Amino acid sequence: MAADLRLRESEEIQGDIVAGFKKDHVTLLFLKFEDAIRARNWLRDLAPQIATTRQVATFNGAFSDARRASGGDDPKTLKATWLAVSFTYEGMRMLSDKDPFEDAPPVGTGLEAFKEGSAKRAGALGDTGDNSPERWKFGNGKNQNVHAVLTIASDTVDALNNALTAQRNAAADAKIVIVFQQNAEHMSGPRKGKEHFGFKDGISEPGVRLFDAESSTRPGEVEGHPGTRLIPAGEFVIGEATAGDSFTGYPDWARNGSFHVVRRLAQDVPGWWAQISVRLGELKQAKAVPENATVEWLGARLVGRWRSGAPVCKHQLQDPTGDPSAPTDNDFDFKDDPEGLVTPLFSHLRKSSPRAGLVVNPGNDPLPAGDLDGRRIMRRGAPYGQPFDPTSGAPGSGADEERGLLFVSYQADIARQFEFIQADWIDEPNFPPGRTPEPGKDPVIAEAQVDYESLGADGAIKHTPLSFQQFVRTEGSVYAFMPSITTLKALSEGRLVPQAAQQAGGRLPQPGGKGYPCDTFLPVPDQQRKGGQSQYWVCHDGLYRKISVADGMTSTDALVKGDAPYGARPALQGVGRIDCVLPFPDQQNPDGKSWYWLFHTVGNKQVYRVASITAGSRHGDTKERDDRDLTAWPSLQGVERVDCFLPVPDQQRVNGKSWYWVFHTTGGHQLYRLVSVADGSAHTDTWERADWDLTAWASLQGIGKVDCFLPVPDQQRVNGQSQYWVFHGENYRRIAVSDGAGHRDFQVLRDRSCNLWSSLQ
């Protein structure tokens, strides 16, 4: 049975939460609304530009495949620019014109943290003194009120700047104030993937169930990534299954969203390394470390990893070279080092994610790693500022220049996840608890008095106290919420939930409760224009239903049969999502049987199979050929995912050949090309015309991605024109395509909500 990786196909979840933008260049705009109506109009225009999980996961999968094929080099032709948006409590209240919480949020929950905001909760997180909100560059809760955070991420500087200019102009038109602009970019060359202190970052991110494939040999871990645990998706995406007793009492508008923490953390690089040199001298004087221990050796123990990313617990003497797997190694825990003699208990690695090996009190058994699943966060940070390199003479490389880490995390519960890690682990001297002396705070980011443990000459544990000053400062912080695409659209209408949900008492429709967004329509082969009615199967969210559409000006639709799972059909065994279906042009109902190519996605890769359907009341189906790769189609070379086919109306079975426009998503963007399929047993296919952008279709202006087309049944080849309904997301429009060489297209009816189709409710 195929693994359930349905989150990869989500067009509801914003793309940075689970899939991750993973771009070299990032800008965050912190925005303040001046006028609610203008802000809603701005959001209405922005919503179609927001990257979804499906788009980002598809692109990232193609990027990884191309990099592996090139031996590790980044592909030059795969590039994309992504947008994401989140809102503070005040921003959501202003857009919806009501309090997002009907009652006060439960005390101690992440909902309470979101409503109060990071400035009010700063003291509990150690943000005092030089780190206090009155010194912040954004988010202080007073003169820098932030309503929204707009994320722009791109593979290239030029593309980022173009998108940034467009978004700044859109904000200006809507009278939206840009409170602060935070630029960040991943460093290049030998510093690639590292933060400014010089250590590889972002290695220990968790896997996510329903998104990452599970290892066949190591259950509970991500396939191909030993040691990387699979965490229940509900710890990051609200509405999915959670770990243990995690909070689940969220309002309906939170479904498919995630809470967003953004912090600007300034780093004093020379100061941090200078104090390590001084502390090393103290340790040598106390004979607590080997005489040949270096500054690099001690720095690695403070972090828990060497600069390369290799874990200290597996490489105790030096940073390994020649081992390509060491820098990304997550296959370890601390069960064999309960006292921190190899990796100190106060190290950043153990304070921020203790893994298996956390001993609550000495002498007890360590806690299983699964007990900590509800504390994990999804980090998406990036360095800002130029590297410290005063000898280079490069602009911005001096000691006093601004540099640091743009910390970004996603979690379902800010209090239980981010704040707990920060306050109860990182900034708590008595963690792990029960030790005398206390281990101390995390000295990488906090002012700390730590207990350095080593073995004395007599074999007993020796305790050496060390004092560290703070060389990481908090210079800004925001708590926000990154909504689903549905909630974004509702906010653009001045609501917290869609109008249909409000009329239903505020409850959002459950999966399968409606028939859209539509993945594809499949005509019932012997029920086309019979008695003025045409029947179709509508595929959506792993389910299918049967509907009818009547001839005539109103094209009245009706539900014939309700939803059933794909697993109920023999031809669909192992299919999680049908992307599109293409009928064999010369095999439609001869001898009572119709044949189809069925395109569907397994993991992050699209495949196709051949299926048949018999005429008659039961419409029995059969899988005729097993799944094959898209590369078997010469006309689909370079295509990552076929979204839909549109037959060229006057070129069907002409001289034994049928022509189609193929709409496909490649590199995260939808394009189209022209292909042909020949009659006959081989059904030879040919790539007839190169890819074009959707903007070449006058009738599709404003659409970022077409999900599927449905021919208007009684308007095919009428007076030299054919009409189609175009479904995209939760909307549809009606277009016409003319016969002839140019195949002129135009819009017949503008976008309307799919709610107008009674058969899709």
Contacts of 469 (CB under 8 A, 6+ apart): 271, 275, 447
Do residues 427 and 418 touch, judged by C-beta distance below 8 A? no
Give the mean pLDDT of 706-716.
96
Residues 577 and 661 in one domain: yes
Q: For residue range 425-479, list pLDDT tens digits in order.
A: 999 999 999 999 999 999 999 999 999 999 998 999 999 999 999 999 999 999 9
Closest among 645, 652, 639, 637 to 706, alpha carbons compared: 645
What pLDDT is stored for residue 346 in this prediction?
98
Tell me whether residue 630 is in a domain: yes
Segment among 16-20, 206-210, 752-756 with least mean pLDDT: 752-756
pLDDT beyond 50 at 3: yes
Residues 579 and 679 in one domain: yes
Domain end (from 469, 501, 532): 469
**Confidence at 2, pLDDT banded by 50, 70, 90:** low
> Which SS3 state, helix, strand or coil, does residue 629 take?
strand
Give the mean pLDDT of 486-492.
94
Sign of the dihedral defined by the CA atoms of residues 670, 676, 680, 681, in that order: negative
What pLDDT is stored for residue 602 in this prediction?
82
Contacts of 331 (CB under 8 A, 6+ apart): 226, 227
Residues 462 and 549 in one domain: no
The CA distance from 543 to 572, in Å, is 11
Residues 343 and 455 in one domain: yes
> Which SS3 state, helix, strand or coil, does residue 417 take?
helix
Which residue type does 380 have? R
What pLDDT is stored for residue 511 in this prediction?
40
Which residue type does 285 have? Q
pLDDT beyond 70 at 727: yes
Closest among 293, 278, 295, 303 to 472, alpha carbons compared: 303
Whole-angstrom CA distances from 468 to 295, 418, 437, 462 are 15, 24, 16, 19
Q: For residue range 737-756, list pLDDT tens digits in order.
A: 999 999 999 999 999 999 89
Give the mean pLDDT of 154-167.
96
Residues 456 and 356 in one domain: yes
Give the mean pLDDT of 692-720.
95
**φ/ψ (deg, to 5) at 406:** -85, 105
Do residues 144 and 136 touch, judged by C-beta distance below 8 A? yes
Where does 47-130 have alpha helices with state H?
A: 53-69, 89-96, 110-116
Residues 457 and 598 in one domain: no
Q: The domain containing residue 642 runs over which residues?
A: 520-760
Please state whether beta strands 472-482 and 461-468 pair in parallel, antiparallel, or not at all (unpaired).
unpaired
For 36, the enclosing helix (H) or strand (E) is helix 36-46
Tell me whether residue 566 is in a domain: yes
Q: For residue range 569-581, list pLDDT tens digits in order.
A: 889 988 888 999 9
Do residues 578 and 545 touch, judged by C-beta distance below 8 A? no
What pLDDT is stored for residue 499 in this prediction?
57
Residues 427 and 553 in one domain: no
Domain end (from 438, 454, 469): 469
Contacts of 356 (CB under 8 A, 6+ apart): 333, 334, 335, 366, 367, 368, 369
Within a 10 A sphere around the Cβ of 491, how many other Cβ atoms? Answer: 25
Tell me whether residue 741 is in a domain: yes
Tally of domains in the chain: 2
Do residues 430 and 438 touch, judged by C-beta distance below 8 A? yes
Domain end (from 469, 501, 535): 469
Q: For residue range 610-630, list pLDDT tens digits in order.
A: 999 999 888 999 999 999 999
Residues 452 and 525 in one domain: no
Q: For residue range 491-528, list pLDDT tens digits in order.
A: 999 999 875 445 444 443 344 468 899 999 999 999 99
The CA distance from 480 to 76, in Å, is 34
pTM listed for this prediction: 0.69
Residues 334 and 430 in one domain: yes
Averaged confidence pLDDT in the chain: 93
Tell me whether residue 226 is in a domain: no
Contacts of 597 (CB under 8 A, 6+ apart): 581, 582, 584, 608, 609, 610
The CA distance from 171 to 79, in Å, is 25
Which residue type does 312 have? V
**Confidence at 396, pLDDT banded by 50, 70, 90:** very high
Please state whether beta strands 207-208 and 225-231 pair in parallel, antiparallel, or not at all (unpaired).
parallel
Neighbour-count burial of 317, counting CB atoms closer than 10 A to its CB (0-12 exposed, 13-18 middle, 19+ buried): exposed
Tell me whether residue 231 is in a domain: no
pLDDT beyond 80 at 686: yes
Closest among 127, 136, 113 to 182, alpha carbons compared: 136
Angle at 757 between CA 755 and CA 761, to 5 degrees: 60
Tell me whether residue 309 is in a domain: yes
What pLDDT is stored for residue 588 in this prediction?
93
- 91, two tokens: 């921003």
Residues 567 and 675 in one domain: yes
Do residues 747 and 735 touch, judged by C-beta distance below 8 A? yes
Token pair 């015309």 is found at 689
Tell me whether residue 650 is in a domain: yes
Q: For residue range 355-391, list pLDDT tens digits in order.
A: 988 998 888 889 988 899 999 999 998 999 999 998 8
Give the mean pLDDT of 51-72.
89
pLDDT beyond 70 at 659: yes
Do residues 243 and 373 touch, judged by C-beta distance below 8 A? yes
Residues 361 and 445 in one domain: yes
What pLDDT is stored for residue 512 in this prediction?
43
Contacts of 617 (CB under 8 A, 6+ apart): none
Do residues 501 and 508 touch, judged by C-beta distance below 8 A? yes
Highest mean pLDDT: which of 24-33, 239-248, 510-519? 24-33
Closest among 5, 124, 1, 130 to 61, alpha carbons compared: 5
Do residues 509 and 500 touch, judged by C-beta distance below 8 A? yes
Tell me whether residue 626 is in a domain: yes
CATH number of the domain at 708, please.
Answer: 2.115.10
Residues 740 and 641 in one domain: yes
What pLDDT is stored for residue 591 in this prediction?
87
The CA distance from 305 to 472, in Å, is 18
What pLDDT is stored for residue 69 in this prediction?
84
- 633, two tokens: 């189609």
Q: How many CA atoms lie within 13 A of 685 on its CB side?
A: 19
Closest among 482, 476, 479 to 180, alpha carbons compared: 476
